[in-house]
């Protein structure tokens, strides 16, 4: 049979729909679109995963030391239960004799390559592959991508790196989790990246607990309209003596030094900096930011989010002025035309610092979009991306710093003053902060007019301060620590320094929380007793950020063809075997760290939500953990008993508005993140009103709600 179709495989149905729209493919089939010489289908994330140990040999059902290490000779894969139907559809299409070329349109990155290739290989397909590699879901970008399809072989090394990452994680996770669970008779989850991450949090908390604050004393000298300070003293008596000696005496200004300083604009966002900023300003978890960014990408409002680059390529420079002009119209503050005329695109252009994808920026579609209709988290995130683009191409922040040296009774005091000469890029960053109801940070106050040799009568005082412990990890600080972990110990030429990648760090943190090793308290990430004890019993190599960072670097070498995948996997297998060989007994002092958990009614040692009594079919998938959310007598609850996601029917939020929380409302809130409602009751005014209710889920505790009065009713 003559081949008449190209088969396009996207990563998600939404991406397949966007591609079908661009290519004019209208005919919807079961699990695909067809027309104009194309068949367009999709994966649903990872359709295939590595098999469990017992799938290789039934003896692995029991966890025994003598069966370790488990090292498959030939790797096996199993299909995800929920998506078997789509896998069968893809297998049928790949084998369809009318299909000639396969176009890989999965996300343009390491994991996207893996998702496609595993299906392709599992189906034993030999047809030629072409690769669609795009950084935006806009129609123009998709069309341009299809005009510049590249041979699939160009990405063979990327696939090999993805396989190595997946197999290394399996070998270390399966073997180490079993090894240390056996040694300590407890369910202990150990991972290649998550364990070093946990170790950093535990080490930080240990440093905080051991910290002993020390008092220090600063003598302040006031007069002539400003205050100068002496260097810190640990001796209170000495500080008080200096204070007494100088009080009421003549102080002389010995020198006034002025220096013009400038701070260049911050770089564009990569995923990690976007996650950090969203956590700092909005309290978003890394996972929430990634999910919102992915939604914005699929809505064609921002470029590909899973990037580690903060620059753009040369060919993008000419389009930046019009892009800035467009996105400026959607910001919650004014950007003047004269400021736009001064933008400097060259500040964000650097081909050498762009890896697989350029930095995250808004697309031209943003200027034409109805931003008010977005869920609150997506709207806030889009504002961060738009603001950063404008500030990144703006003028420097320039200020005049003055340092005044004062002498009094032989003691030297100094004062600093700051006068802003050009606010530059900070104008926009500060305007965004103010627009969301935050107070911008104060700076140094300007000094009065002074001159060298000036004398005045001094008034003195002593201010007591205390040294501060290290800061607890927030998601912002932990992401930064993961990004730079091991950097100080690695050679400068090693490109990849850190734990995980921008695309995986969010899931690593979530795994640690869901496994009970970390907990969230407000914005803080804190280790549990179980997490502290796990790090206590693990050998240094297993929890070392340096070793994992080296492995990440080696994966980049595989991508570039500078290291073979077999060499990498031999090293991983050797490392696992040595660890099993050298750790065959548990030290006596650690054997009691993990006492058996006391089973509770409804589960084995787990805290059970007493209101969880599911009836009927699940109404939706939990937005936090992917579990099933079902209806119960008192509300709607996630079936994962370690997850606190729940909607209560007697919620004060809904009862005050005289609204019954129905299954339909709960389902819409979970799946869409918002629901437009009419006839909401106002207790204050006694009248009814219309508004959009937004799901406000911080990723911990019970979710809340927000009201959006700007959104209009959906079109019917």
Candidates 120, 297, 304, 428; catalytic one: 304
Count of beta carbons in the 10 Å neighbourhood of residue 344: 14
Strand 129-131 to 99-105 pairing: parallel
Are the beta carbons of 132 and 103 closer than 8 angstroms? Answer: yes
Listed in sequence order, the residues at least 6 apart from 38 whose beta carbon sits closer than 8 Å to its beta carbon are 5, 6, 7, 8, 20, 23, 25
**Of the candidates 636, 607, 630, the residue with the CA atom closest to the CA atom of residue 703:** 636
**Alpha helices of 211-347 — where are they, by DSSP H?**
236-246, 271-282, 286-298, 320-327, 337-340
Q: How far is CA 661 from CA 583, 650, 677, 680, in A?
A: 54, 8, 12, 12
Closest CA to 559 of 271, 353, 356, 312: 356
CA angle at 60 for the pair 56 and 65, rounded to the nearest 5°: 130
Report in angstroms the alpha-carbon separations of 246 from 185, 218, 251, 290, 413.
68, 13, 8, 57, 11
- Cα–Cα dist 195/502, whole Å: 17
* Cα angle, residue 304 at apex, residues 24 and 392 outer, rounded to 5°: 125
Any idea what DSSP says for residue 312? B
* Bridge partner residues of 632 (DSSP): 635
Q: Which residues pair with 150 in a beta bridge?
A: 131
DSSP result, 262-286: EEPPPPPB-HHHHHHHHHHHH---H
Please indicate whether residue 155 is annotated as part of the active site.
no
Please check whether residue 235 is in contact with residue 216, taking contact to mean a CB–CB distance below 8 angstroms.
Answer: no
Contact 594, 186 (CB under 8 A): yes
Query: What are the C-alpha distances in Å from 82 to residues 48, 123, 626?
Result: 11, 19, 12
CB 134 within 8 A of CB 154: no
Beta bridge partners of 414: 229, 405
CA angle 608/610/611 to nearest 5° reads 125
CB 586 within 8 A of CB 537: yes
Phi, psi of 176 (to 5 degrees): -70, -35
Known catalytic residues?
304
């Amino acid at each position: 049979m003559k081949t008449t179709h190209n088969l396009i495989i996207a990563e998600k149905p939404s991406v397949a729909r966007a591609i079908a729209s661009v290519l004019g493919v209208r005919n919807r089939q079961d699990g695909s679109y067809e027309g104009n010489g194309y068949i367009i289908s999709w994966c649903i994330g990872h359709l295939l995963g590595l098999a469990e140990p017992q799938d290789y040999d039934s003896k692995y059902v029991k966890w025994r030391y003598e069966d370790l290490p488990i090292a498959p000779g030939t790797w096996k894969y199993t299909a995800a239960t929920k998506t078997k139907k789509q896998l069968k559809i893809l297998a049928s299409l790949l084998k369809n004799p009318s299909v000639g070329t396969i176009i890989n349109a999965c996300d343009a990155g390491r994991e996207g390559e893996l998702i496609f290739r595993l299906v392709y290989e599992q189906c034993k397909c030999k047809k030629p592959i072409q690769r669609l590699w795009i950084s935006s879901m806009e129609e123009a970008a998709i069309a341009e991508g299809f005009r510049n399809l590249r041979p699939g072989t160009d990405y063979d090394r990327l696939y090999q790196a993805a396989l190595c990452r997946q197999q290394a994680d399996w070998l270390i996770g399966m073997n180490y989790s079993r090894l240390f669970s056996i040694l300590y008779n407890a369910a202990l989850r150990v991972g290649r990246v998550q364990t070093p991450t946990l170790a950093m949090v535990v080490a930080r908390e240990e440093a905080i607990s051991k910290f002993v604050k020390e008092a220090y004393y600063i003598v302040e000298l006031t007069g002539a309209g400003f205050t100068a300070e002496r260097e810190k003293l640990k001796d209170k008596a000495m500080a008080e003596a200096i204070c007494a000696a100088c009080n009421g005496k003549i102080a002389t200004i010995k020198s006034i030094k002025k220096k013009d300083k400038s701070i260049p604009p911050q770089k564009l966002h990569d995923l990690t900096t976007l996650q950090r900023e969203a956590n700092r300003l909005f309290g978003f978890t890394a996972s929430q930011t990634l999910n919102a960014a992915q939604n914005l990408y699929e809505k064609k409002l921002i470029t590909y989010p899973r990037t580690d680059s903060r620059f753009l390529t040369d060919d993008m420079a000419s389009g930046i002025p019009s892009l800035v002009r467009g996105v400026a119209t959607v910001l919650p503050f004014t950007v003047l035309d004269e400021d736009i005329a001064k933008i400097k695109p060259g500040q964000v252009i650097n081909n050498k610092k762009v890896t697989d994808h350029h930095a995250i920026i808004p697309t031209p579609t943003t200027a034409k979009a109805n931003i008010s209709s977005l869920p609150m988290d997506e709207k806030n995130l889009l504002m961060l991306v738009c603001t950063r683009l404008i500030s990144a191409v703006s003028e420097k922040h320039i200020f005049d710093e003055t340092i005044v040296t004062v002498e009094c009774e032989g003691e030297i005091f100094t004062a600093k003053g700051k006068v802003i000469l050009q606010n530059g890029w900070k104008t926009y960053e500060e305007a965004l902060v103010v627009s969301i109801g935050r107070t911008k940070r104060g700076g140094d106050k300007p000094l009065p007019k002074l001159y060298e040799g000036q004398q005045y009568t001094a008034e003195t005082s002593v201010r007591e301060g205390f040294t501060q412990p290290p800061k607890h990890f927030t998601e912002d600080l932990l992401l930064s620590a993961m990004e730079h972990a091991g950097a100080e110990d690695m050679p400068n030429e090693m490109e990849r320094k850190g734990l995980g990648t921008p695309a995986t760090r969010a899931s690593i943190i979530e795994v640690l929380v869901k496994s009970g090793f970390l907990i969230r308290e407000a914005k803080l990430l804190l280790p549990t007793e179980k997490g502290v004890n796990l790090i206590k019993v693990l050998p240094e190599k297993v929890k070392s950020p340096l070793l994992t960072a080296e492995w990440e670097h080696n994966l980049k070498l595989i991508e570039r063809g500078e290291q073979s995948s077999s060499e990498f996997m031999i090293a991983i297998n050797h490392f696992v075997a040595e660890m099993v060989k050298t750790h065959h007994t548990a030290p006596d002092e650690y054997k009691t760290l993990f006492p058996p958990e006391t089973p509770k009614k409804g589960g084995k040692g787990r805290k059970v939500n007493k209101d969880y009594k599911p009836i009927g079919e699940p109404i939706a998938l939990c937005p936090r953990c992917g579990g099933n959310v079902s209806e119960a007598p008192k509300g709607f609850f996630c079936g994962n008993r370690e997850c606190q996601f729940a909607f209560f029917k007697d919620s004060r939020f809904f009862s005050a508005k005289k609204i019954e929380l129905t299954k339909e409302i709960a389902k819409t809130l979970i799946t869409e993140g918002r629901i437009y409602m009419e006839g909401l009751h106002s207790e204050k005014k006694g009248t009814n009103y219309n508004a959009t209710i937004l799901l406000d889920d911080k990723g911990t505790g019970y979710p809340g709600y927000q009201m959006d009065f700007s959104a209009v009713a959906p079109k019917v």
